[in-house]
């Protein structure tokens, strides 16, 4: 792409001024208008970490697994305006037909975790792992990864996982091969493997930047190789936060997402996927107190939704996932008004050869979900 084309594309992807001057009421009523007009032609999936100003318009709200499932089932909608981040929209594009168009209202809504594994690093790392472990490894990738990584995993017989099915998927992987390469979130991999009874000294970390293992023992003993990636949002919950909550709120239960570090998960009372956290707090008795270690938009929503309980963030200085937050009401309206005019902006298209291999990895997961 030439420099001129790049500048033109950048300008096209920028929110027009008019959306910066509209009132919230004006924008909300226009969104309802376009939604009503387009009916079943339009489908808006929304991840739990999205802002309320956006989530109020979602046709389906869920975690990564639920949104992948509803996208795969939806054959009616011509336009899928995805309120989540880039890898989720890519997954929706892979799982829907060629006639359906997936749109991300703001192309800057990426995921820092997914960006921690690129395909060149992965191919190089795999080469090294093959030399070290021969043909004893199967790759698994968290869905929080690019389509190219999912395709790599599909090509090598592996599957995707989400935080709500990581354990059964890891158990399945061990029926296929002796060892697992787990990309790109070391914490989800470590926490899940630990829960399955794999001791920490049988886990190695692969550093894709330095291209070396972080492991001191005998590599023959290693069962799982964890890619050195992490979610920068969940990394904000620390052992110190846990100690503070234990001191200031001794009657509170601490529940965290498995993207948090092993140390934090070990000290928490409970850990589980976004869906698990929501369901656990929902099912708890009125008057109970919960310190929650996950994204802030969701924690704020739980605080409002379960007013008969006390729900607060494990880290009092926590902020929302910045990239998720790029999808806001103005961008949603902009995307919808483009669709209304028949102009598709910010379409997410995964190349056919990548999509077919990534589909294999997703299907292996969805068949077991
Ligand atoms: P889940 O939706 O699988 O809980 O993942 C959390 C997350 O960080 C999504 O980006
Ligand atoms: Fe990515 Fe973490 Fe944000 Fe989820 S919360 S989109 S994993 S950076």
pLDDT digits (tens, 9 = 90+) for 296-347: 999 999 999 999 999 999 999 998 999 999 999 999 999 999 999 999 999 9
Least confident of 61-75, 104-118, 341-355: 61-75
Assess contact for 146 and 104: CB atoms under 8 A. no
67 CB near ligand 2 (under 6 Å): no
Architecture of domain 114-231: 3-Layer(aba) Sandwich (3.40)
Quote the pLDDT of residue 72.
Answer: 85
Mean of pLDDT values over 109-133: 97
- Could you tell me the distance, in angstroms and rounded to a whole number, from the CA of residue 98 to the centre of ligand 1? 26
- Give the C-alpha separation, 264 to 220, whole Å: 29
Mean of pLDDT values over 205-212: 97
pLDDT at 6 over 80: no
pLDDT band at 2 (very low <50, low <70, confident <90, very high): very low
Residue 351: left if φ>0, alpha if ψ -120 to 50, beta else—which one?
A: beta
Q: Which atom of ligand 1 is closest in space to residue 231's alpha carbon?
A: 8
Mean of pLDDT values over 98-121: 96
Assess contact for 144 and 355: CB atoms under 8 A. no
Query: How is residue 136 written in tokens?
Result: 């004893």
Output the CA torsion sign for 352, 358, 362, 363: positive
Average pLDDT score over the chain: 95
294 CB near ligand 1 (under 6 Å): no
- Could you tell me the distance, in angstroms and rounded to a whole number, from the CA of residue 343 to the centre of ligand 1? 30
Quote the pLDDT of residue 7.
Answer: 46
Q: What share of the chain is helix, strand, coil (3-state, %, to 5)?
A: 50, 15, 35
Q: Which atom of ligand 2 is closest in space to residue 295's alpha carbon?
A: 5
Q: Which atom of ligand 1 is closest in space to residue 233's alpha carbon?
A: 8
Pick the CATH number of 234-313 from 3.30.470.20, 3.40.250.10, 3.40.50.10800, 1.10.10.10: 3.40.50.10800
Quote the pLDDT of residue 188.
Answer: 98
User: What is the model's pTM?
Assistant: 0.94
Assess contact for 54 and 335: CB atoms under 8 A. no
Quote the pLDDT of residue 11.
Answer: 53
For 3-108+324-350, CATH gives: 3.40.50.10800
274 CB near ligand 1 (under 6 Å): yes
Mean of pLDDT values over 248-266: 98
Of 82, 109, 112, best ligand 2 pocket probe by most atoms within 8 Å of the beta carbon = 112
Domain with CATH 3.40.50.10800 in the chain: 3-108+324-350, 114-231, 234-313
pLDDT band at 143 (very low <50, low <70, confident <90, very high): very high
Q: Sort 289 into a burial class: Cβ within 10 Å, 0-12 / 13-18 / 19+.
A: middle
Quote the pLDDT of residue 332.
Answer: 98
265 CB near ligand 2 (under 6 Å): no
pLDDT at 4 over 60: no
Q: Which atom of ligand 1 is closest in space to residue 162's alpha carbon?
A: 3
Beta bridge partners of 226: 182, 205
Quote the pLDDT of residue 1.
Answer: 45
85 CB near ligand 2 (under 6 Å): yes
- Give the C-alpha separation, 279 to 265, whole Å: 18
């Amino acid at each position: 792409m030439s420099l001129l084309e790049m500048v033109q594309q950048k300008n096209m992807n920028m929110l027009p001024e008019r959306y910066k001057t509209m009132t919230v009421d004006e924008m909300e009523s226009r969104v309802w208008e376009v939604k009503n007009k387009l009916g079943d032609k339009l489908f808006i999936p929304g991840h739990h970490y999205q802002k309320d100003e956006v989530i109020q318009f979602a046709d389906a709200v869920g975690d990564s697994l639920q949104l992948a499932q509803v996208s795969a089932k939806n054959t009616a909608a011509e336009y899928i305006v995805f309120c989540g981040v880039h890898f989720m929209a890519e997954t929706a594009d892979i799982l829907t037909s060629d006639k359906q168009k997936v749109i991300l209202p703001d192309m800057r809504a990426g995921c820092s975790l997914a960006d921690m594994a690129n395909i060149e690093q992965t191919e190089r790392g795999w080469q090294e792992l093959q030399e070290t472990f021969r043909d004893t490894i199967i790759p698994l990738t968290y869905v929080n990864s690019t389509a190219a990584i999912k395709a790599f995993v599909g090509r090598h017989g592996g599957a995707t996982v989400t935080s709500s099915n990581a354990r059964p998927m890891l158990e399945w992987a061990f029926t296929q091969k002796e060892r697992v390469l787990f990309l790109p979130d070391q914490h989800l991999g470590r926490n899940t493997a630990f829960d399955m009874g794999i001791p920490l000294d049988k886990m190695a970390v692969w550093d894709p930047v330095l291209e070396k293992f972080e492991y001191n023992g005998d590599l023959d003993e290693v069962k799982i190789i964890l890619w050195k990636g992490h979610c920068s949002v969940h990394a904000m919950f620390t052992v110190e936060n846990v100690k503070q909550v234990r001191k200031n709120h001794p009657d509170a239960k601490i529940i965290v997402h498995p993207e948090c570090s092993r140390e934090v998960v070990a000290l928490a009372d409970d850990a589980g996927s976004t869906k698990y956290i929501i369901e656990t707090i929902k099912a708890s008795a009125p008057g109970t107190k919960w310190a929650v270690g996950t994204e802030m938009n969701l924690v704020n929503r739980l605080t409002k939704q379960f007013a008969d309980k006390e729900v607060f963030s494990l880290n009092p200085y926590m902020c929302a996932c910045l990239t998720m937050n790029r999808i806001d009401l103005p961008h949603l309206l902009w995307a919808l008004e483009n669709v209304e005019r028949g102009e598709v902006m910010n379409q997410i298209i995964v190349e056919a050869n990548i999509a077919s291999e990534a589909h294999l990895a997703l299907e292996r997961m969805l068949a077991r979900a």
